[in-house]
Structure 1
Amino acid sequence: MTPDQRTATEPTELLPVAASPGDQAQQPDPLARITLTPRRFASLLAGAGLLLGLVLGLAPVHVASLDEARASSVSCGNTVGGVETPLLTQDLGDAGPTVVATYVGTCQEAIGTRLVFAWPMFFAGMIGVVWLGVVRREPLPEQLAGVQHA
Structure 2
Amino acid sequence: MAVSLGPSSDLRAQHKLMRENQELQRQLAQSKQDFRDLREKFLVSKATAYSLANQLQKYQCEGHRDIIESVLGEKLEFKVVKLAERLAEDPAELDVLIHAQARELTQLRQKVKEGRDDCVLLSFEGRTHGIWRLPG
For the aligned pair, the TM-score class normalised by the smaller chain equals 0.3 to 0.5
Normalized per residue, the structure richer in helix is 2
Normalized per residue, the structure richer in strand is 1
TM-score by length of 1: 0.31
